[in-house]
Structure formats: structure tokens, C-alpha cells
Amino acid sequence: MTIDAALANEFAALAAALHIKRDRPKPDSVRNPATPVIRLEDEELHISGSAMQVMQIVAGLKRKFSYIDTDSIEASLQNDDIREHISIKVSVGSDLLARSVAKIAVNYYMMKTRGRQHLDKIVSFIDGIEKNHNHVHSYPLPDGIWKEDEVAHVIIVRGTALLRQLYAHVILFNTHSFVVLLSDTYDGEDVEYSYRHDVVHGEEIKDRISLAYNRNEYLSKI
């Protein structure tokens, strides 16, 4: 399996549950209900929305995570709109997935800079030559960063010469959040690039998300 196929396979159930298509026109705001809220914390997926929305997402996820007990979840939905979120234990992560996430970050950085300076180590990891020595790792997201009804993919690249760090945040479907170390010997100009795309409404969002990250602090805690 290629790394791109691994990424597509990992999120196929979630994308299908949200009825996401490429180049999808903007939904009619009257006919379409509010987008459900989905977030991932410590390999536990939290879903909030109408009972119908939740069960559609759960049914899609069950195709990948067969152990999900759809009957007990359906029984717990007493009202049309649940006040509390539904939590589902999932396991996301593999070497192929990490390499695919790294490729997303590298492609975006190269698109913005038109070059691949500082990228030798991460490219070796993407090519399967180097192991994942914390090149890619999960990153917990703070609350309150999303707009109402937003389900987004986000890429943020930052380069800081003082810390010799060039890294990227990659967030998929609001839920799966990663940090990709592009270089730990960065000596270029301080840079920041950001892209945020609502996958349900099919539109780019100009508002930036600010996420703090210090590589040295992360490594000191593991």
C-alpha cells in the first residue's frame, strides 16, 4: 500500500459519514442541518450533533472499526439533539500514515517556498529510508478553535532560526492533529504559512489558528 492510499483508507469512513466529496458545492443553509462537531482526544472520538447525524457518522466509522457497538449508541440517544457527546475509542496511527502526513506538510512548504532546502531528513522519512524518530507525532488541540459548523483541514508551517526549528501542524477533519518536524537545523528566515479549508462547505477560511509548539519542550516530556 502506498502512503497516499494509507491516508485515504484511514479517513475513508469519516469522509463518507460526513458525505464529503471533492469540489462539492456549498450546501444550502436551509435544507442542510448544522454540521456535527467531531474531535479526537487520546484516541477517543467525541461526536456531537442530532441523533440522525451521530448515527450516520457511527455507521460510517463501523465499517473501519468493527468493534463499535452501534446498538448501544443508538439506545443512548434519547433526544433528537444530544446534550452530551458520544465517545468512541479508535486507534489511528501507522508508519504509512505518518509518512503521508509528513508528505502533506512537505508539499505545502515547497509550494510556498519553491524549494526543498532543510528537508533532507524528512524526505528520507517519507521515502521510507529513515525511521520515525519523532519526525511526526500527535498533538492535542485546545478547545474553542473552530467556527460553528466547521469541519476543516489545516496546515500551519513555522520556521524559527533562533530555535533552529522548521515544523508544521497538520490537522485533518478537526480531529486528527499532528506535528511534523521538517528540520531541526533550520537557519533560514523566520516564516509562517497557514492554510485552512472547510471540507464540508468546500471553502477556504481566511482566519488563522494560532498553536504554540516548542520542540525542545516536547522532547523533554517523552
User: CA 201, CA 182: separation in Å to the nearest integer?
Assistant: 30
Cβ density class 145-182: b for 16+ within 10 Å, e for less: bbeebbbbbbbbbbbbeeeebbbbbbbbbbbbbbbbbb
| Cell of residue 52, nine digits | 440522525
Pairing outcome for strands 165-172 and 203-204: unpaired
pLDDT for 88-132, tens place per residue? 555 445 678 888 899 999 999 999 988 888 899 999 999 988 888
Interhelix angle 51-62/3-17, rounded to 10 degrees, is 150
| Cell of residue 140, nine digits | 492535542
CB burial of residue 1 (10 Å; 0-12, 13-18, 19+): exposed
Q: What is the pTM of this model?
A: 0.64
User: CA 140, CA 12: separation in Å to the nearest integer?
Assistant: 22
- Asked if residues 150 and 35 have their Cβ atoms less than 8 Å apart, the reply is yes
| Element at 194 (helix H, strand E) | strand 191-198
pLDDT for 65-76, tens place per residue? 555 667 777 676
- Alpha-carbon torsion 62, 102, 154, 178, what sign? positive
User: CA 148, CA 176: separation in Å to the nearest integer?
Assistant: 18
pLDDT for 134-158, tens place per residue? 889 888 877 778 877 788 889 999 9
Cβ-Cβ contacts under 8 Å for 205 (sequence gap 6 or more): 147, 150, 152, 196, 197, 198
So where are the chain's domains? 3-89, 101-220
* Sheet arrangement for strand 37-41: 37-41, 44-48, 86-89
Is pLDDT at 194 greater than 90 in this prediction? yes
| Element at 176 (helix H, strand E) | strand 176-183
DSSP 48: E
Cβ-Cβ contacts under 8 Å for 19 (sequence gap 6 or more): none
| Cell of residue 206, nine digits | 481566511
pLDDT for 154-164, tens place per residue? 999 999 999 89
Of 32-36, 70-74, 201-205, the poorest mean pLDDT is in 32-36
